[in-house]
């Protein structure tokens, strides 16, 4: 209340009213005195520090005597302001402390007053220490910072920034920023930075420092700082070394590229999934897997595998996961057959992810289709090799028998002929000569068949194709071989189609085929009949040779069409022959454009049907 009354008295005496003045917090002590050093105004900081109020004399301050003399001397001088250091004692402390006092002369209504702003040197020292500490922290923390004024000139730079751009503070202080960094930034980046500063905008850019070896990457951040009435706008440019981060990113990227390359270069199908909470989610796959299953792995990341692979494979994967978990083995194998009939052998392995409470499963699928086919081919080749070896053995046995038999007969006949000549028995000699001719004809026929089979198998056989009525050939064969059937008391039937059965054929070779087949029917039929017939059906001519002979097992038909085979092999077989007739007939029929079919039942009979297209 006393202070308010003093304020009113001063206002009445001087005409100055400070009641409306609003004081900012934490101000330094401030006092306004008249020439007679009477206080006309003081702020709360002054009052609380020195215990003086408005209307009191400044002489009451506890200070060294020189201060008051200096103040009186300043009032009589022509200086506008002065700053000096004095010793003062605050109201709360009887000891004299160092203060800095700024005195400024002002004139109000032709009366001069003195404005004293008192600042504790100890507080100033603390502030300076804070500033120095901040500066040291920035320098020692190696944080590159530049502070710019509103004109984009450098007002402050840390030592680390000086080292970064290779310039000291003396050479960059009060210089335009763009002139300072022109050796580090390129023209495009400088223009971008100038535009940001002109528009008072935040700016950020990663700049490679290629002048350093190896190249370093620094991120520059420009932060505009808004000013107030007494402080204009400014800028802070901060640099952050991202070299290690970028190198790590590049390393990770290279690692990912290598991983991707390795995954995609695996020839087997590869699927990586993550199992968590009873779900199996897609993680990755190589290109071969994506191609086989027609998927785009960029679109199915973290999707359930049920959504993009077949149900059968999904079931196998789930079962394999459960088996892998129960058996506690490093891997588990299973087989899978794809819809395109590709066969795969699959292997699944597991690695746990404790942090995610999940597990990563890697499924590799090896295509063994070709391997299975090769194995099957190998099995067939082995069987064929065994068959060929048996055929070779059979051939040698047959040839040995077939050649030795007639020549043994010739030797026997020769001995008998010698004896007959001595006795003069001409009739026996004649009979033996007929038998010898028959034996030699059989041997000659054997050699001719062997030669013909060799020619057929080599592909060097030639045909003289003509259009003819096959019925004519059938008649010739019927008449030429009728006597053989009559000897065995067989019924030999010829039934020819009424129409002309004109086919394009090699006459000689077709007659040989029909003769060989009819001869076989007669040889293997002990009773009953042999029939030779032709018929015209759907522009095709069918030639049928049927009998009521011993017949053969239908399963043996394909084997009998190969050379040197009979249904019963070895020396105990019931019929003579090298087993070449059926083979020659079958191969000649095919080479002349016909089809050859055998239907037979054991002890019932055999029917052979040869079909040729009707000639145009």
C-beta of residue 153 within 8 angstroms of C-beta of residue 176: yes
Same domain, 283 and 334: yes
Residue 460 has pLDDT above 80, yes or no: no
* Percentage of residues of the chain with pLDDT beyond 70: 81
Count Cα atoms within 13 angstroms, Cβ side, for 374.
5
User: Are 292 and 183 members of one domain?
Assistant: no
The answer as to whether 564 is a domain residue is: yes
Which of 453, 479, 501 is at the close of a domain? 453
Q: In this structure, is residue 537 part of a structural domain?
A: yes
Residue 311 included in any domain: yes
Which residue would you say has higher pLDDT here, 357 or 256? 357
Q: Is residue 260 included in any domain, yes or no?
A: no
In the listed set 247, 276, 303, which residue is the last one of a domain according to the structure? Answer: 247
Q: What are phi and psi of 47, to 5 degrees?
A: -60, -45
Mean pLDDT along residues 54-65: 81
Which residue range(s) make up the domain with 106? Answer: 2-120
Closest Cα partner for 203 from 187, 191, 211, 213?
191
CA dist 188 → 67, 191, 198, 203, 238 (Å) = 61, 5, 15, 14, 19
When pLDDT is averaged across residues 424-439 and rounded to a whole number, the result is 75
- Residue 504's pLDDT band, with cuts at 50, 70 and 90, is very high
**pLDDT tens column, 106-115:** 888 788 888 8
Residue 159: in which H helix or E strand, if any?
helix 159-165
Q: Answer whether 64's CB lies under 8 Å from 53's CB.
A: no
Residue 395 lies in a domain: yes
The rounded distance, in Å, linking the Cα atoms of 290 and 271 is 9
pLDDT band at 105, cuts 50/70/90? confident
Structural domain contains residue 132: no
Model pLDDT, residue 16: 62
| % helix, strand, coil for the chain, step of 5 | 45, 30, 25
d(CA 186, CA 220): 14
Residue of 589, 565, 562, 560 lying closest to 577 (CA atoms)? 565
Residues 508 and 609 in one domain: yes
Q: How far is CA 147 from CA 79, 172, 173, 196, in A?
A: 36, 11, 10, 15
Let me know whether 96 and 215 are in one domain.
no
pLDDT at residue number 575? 39
Q: Could you report the per-residue pLDDT of 143-198, keeping only the tens digit for each?
A: 788 888 888 998 888 888 888 888 888 888 889 988 888 888 888 998 999 999 98
**Unique residue bearing structure tokens 């502070």:** 147
pLDDT of residue 10: 63
pLDDT surpasses 50 at 33: yes
Q: Are residues 412 and 470 in the same domain?
A: no
Q: pLDDT band at residue 567, thresholds of 50, 70 and 90?
A: very low
Give the sheet arrangement for strand 154-157, strand by strand. Answer: 154-157, 145-148, 234-241, 216-225, 203-209
Taking the C-alpha atoms of residue 393 and residue 564, their distance in angstroms, rounded to an integer, is: 10
Task: Determine phi and psi for 511, rounding to 5 degrees.
Answer: -65, -40
CB contact at 8 A, 471 and 501? yes
Same domain, residue pair 161 and 116: no
Q: Which residues partner with 82 through β-bridges?
A: 103
Residue 578 clears pLDDT 60, i.e. is over it:
no
> Predicted confidence band at 95 (pLDDT cuts at 50, 70, 90)?
low
% of the chain exceeding 90 in pLDDT: 21
Cβ atoms within 10 Å of 108's Cβ, excluding its own:
12
Which residues are CB-neighbours of 575 under 8 A, at least 6 positions away?
A: 523, 524, 566
pLDDT band at 571 (very low <50, low <70, confident <90, very high): very low
DSSP structure string for 519-542: HHHHHT-SSSEEEEEEEEETTEEE
pTM above 0.85, yes or no: no
Q: Are residues 290 and 411 in the same domain?
A: no
Answer with the one of 391, 425, 453 that is the final residue of a domain: 453
Q: Are residues 605 and 556 in the same domain?
A: yes
Same domain, 200 and 337: no
- 234 close to 151: Cβ distance less than 8 angstroms: no
Number of separate domains in the chain: 5
DSSP letters of 59-108? GGSEE-HHHHHHHHHHHHS--SEEEEEEEEE-TT--SEEEEEEEEEEEEE
Q: Which helix (H) or strand (E) holds 401?
A: helix 369-423
pLDDT at 576: 45
Categorize the per-residue pLDDT at 429 as very low, low, confident or very high, splitting at 50, 70 and 90. confident
Query: Could you tell me which of 542, 536, 486, 551 has the C-alpha nearest to residue 514?
Result: 542
Does 67 or 457 have the greater pLDDT score?
A: 67
Residues 356 and 377 in one domain: no
Angle at 503 between CA 498 and CA 505, to 5 degrees: 135
Residue 566 pLDDT greater than 60, yes or no: no
User: Is the per-residue pLDDT at 229 higher than 80?
Assistant: no
Q: pLDDT confidence of 324, banded at 50, 70, 90?
A: confident
* Residue 391, pLDDT above cutoff 80: no
**Residue 348 to residue 138: CA distance in whole angstroms:** 56
Identify the pLDDT of residue 608: 93
Residue 53 to residue 8: CA distance in whole angstroms:
13
Q: Which of 114, 120, 81 is nearest to 100 (CA)?
A: 120
Reading across the β-sheet that carries 96-108, which strands appear in turn?
39-42, 30-33, 111-120, 96-108, 81-89, 62-63
Name residues whose C-beta falls within 8 Å of residue 36's C-beta, 6 or more positions apart in sequence.
Answer: none
Q: Tell me which of 578 and 533 has the higher pLDDT.
A: 533
Identify the weakest region by mean pLDDT among 135-139, 456-460, 498-502: 135-139
The CATH number for 387's domain is 1.10.287
Q: Are 415 and 449 members of one domain?
A: yes
Taking residues 210-217, report their average pLDDT: 78
Query: What is the chain's length?
Result: 616
Q: ω into residue 373 within 30 of 0, thus cis?
A: no
Do the domain assignments include residue 491? yes
Question: What pLDDT score does 7 carry?
Answer: 62
What's the pLDDT score for residue 502?
A: 92
Query: How far is residue 125 from each of residues 25, 99, 121, 133, 508, measured CA to CA in Å?
Result: 20, 11, 6, 12, 133
β-bridge partners, 108: 111
Q: Residue 275's domain is classified under what CATH number?
A: 3.30.450.20
- Domain presence at residue 388: yes
Whether residues 115 and 146 fall in one domain: no
CA R_g for the chain: 61
User: How far is 361 from 199, CA to CA, in rounded Å?
Assistant: 55
């Amino acid at each position: 209340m006393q202070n308010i009354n003093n304020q009113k008295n001063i206002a009445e005496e001087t005409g100055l009213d400070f009641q409306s003045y609003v004081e900012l917090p934490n101000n330094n002590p401030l006092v306004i005195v008249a020439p007679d050093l009477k206080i006309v105004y003081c702020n709360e900081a002054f009052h609380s520090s020195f215990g003086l109020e408005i209307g009191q004399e400044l002489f009451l301050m506890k200070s060294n005597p020189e201060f008051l003399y200096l103040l009186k001397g300043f009032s009589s001088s022509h200086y506008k302001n002065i700053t000096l250091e004095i010793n003062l004692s605050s109201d709360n402390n009887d000891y004299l402390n160092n203060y800095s006092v700024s005195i400024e002369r002002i004139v109000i209504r032709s009366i001069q007053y003195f404005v004293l702003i008192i600042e504790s040197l100890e507080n100033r020292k603390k502030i300076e220490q804070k500033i120095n500490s901040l500066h040291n922290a920035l320098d020692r923390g190696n944080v590159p910072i530049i502070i710019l004024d509103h004109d984009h000139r450098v007002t402050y730079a840390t030592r680390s920034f000086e080292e970064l751009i290779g310039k000291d503070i003396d050479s960059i202080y009060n210089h335009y920023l763009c002139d300072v960094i022109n050796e580090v930034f390129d023209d495009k980046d400088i223009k971008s930075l100038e535009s940001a500063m002109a528009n008072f905008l935040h700016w950020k850019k990663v700049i490679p420092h290629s002048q350093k070896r190896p190249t370093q990457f620094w991120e520059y951040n420009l932060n505009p700082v808004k000013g107030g009435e007494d402080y204009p706008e400014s800028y802070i440019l901060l640099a952050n070394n991202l070299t290690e981060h970028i190198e790590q990113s590049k390393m990770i990227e290279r690692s990912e590229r290598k991983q991707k390359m390795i995954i995609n270069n695996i020839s087997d199908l590869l699927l990586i999934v993550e199992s968590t909470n009873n779900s199996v989610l897609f993680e990755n796959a190589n290109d071969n897997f994506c191609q086989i299953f027609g998927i785009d792995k960029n679109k199915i990341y973290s999707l359930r595998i049920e959504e993009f692979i077949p149900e059968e494979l999904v079931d196998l994967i789930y079962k394999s996961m459960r088996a892998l978990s129960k058996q506690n083995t490093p891997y588990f194998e299973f087989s899978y057959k794809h819809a395109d009939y590709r066969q795969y052998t699959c292997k699944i392995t597991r690695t746990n992810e404790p942090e995610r409470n999940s597990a990563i499963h890697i499924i590799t699928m090896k295509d063994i289709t070709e391997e299975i086919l090769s194995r099957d081919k190998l099995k067939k080749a082995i069987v064929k090799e065994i068959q060929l070896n048996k055929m070779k053995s059979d051939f040698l046995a047959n040839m040995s028998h077939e050649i030795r038999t007639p020549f043994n007969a010739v030797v026997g006949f020769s001995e008998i002929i010698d004896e007959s000549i001595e006795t003069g028995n001409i009739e026996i000699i004649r009979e033996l000569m007929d038998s010898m001719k028959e034996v030699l004809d059989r041997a000659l026929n054997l050699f001719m068949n062997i030669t013909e089979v060799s020619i057929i198998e080599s592909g060097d056989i030639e045909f003289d194709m003509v259009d003819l009525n096959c019925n004519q050939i059938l008649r010739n064969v019927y008449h030429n071989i009728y006597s053989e059937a009559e000897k065995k008391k067989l019924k030999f039937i010829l039934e020819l189609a009424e129409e002309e059965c004109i086919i394009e054929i090699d006459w000689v070779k077709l007659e040989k085929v029909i003769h060989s087949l009819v001869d076989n029917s007669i040889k293997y039929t002990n009773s009953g009949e042999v029939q030779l017939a032709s018929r015209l059906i759907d522009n095709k001519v069918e030639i049928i040779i049927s009998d009521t002979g011993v017949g053969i097992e239908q399963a043996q038909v394909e084997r009998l069409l190969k050379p040197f085979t009979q249904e019963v092999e070895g020396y105990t077989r019931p019929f003579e022959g090298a087993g070449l007739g059926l083979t020659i007939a079958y191969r000649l029929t095919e080479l002349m454009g016909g089809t050859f079919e055998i239907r037979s039942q054991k002890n019932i009979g055999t029917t052979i049907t040869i079909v040729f297209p009707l000639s145009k």
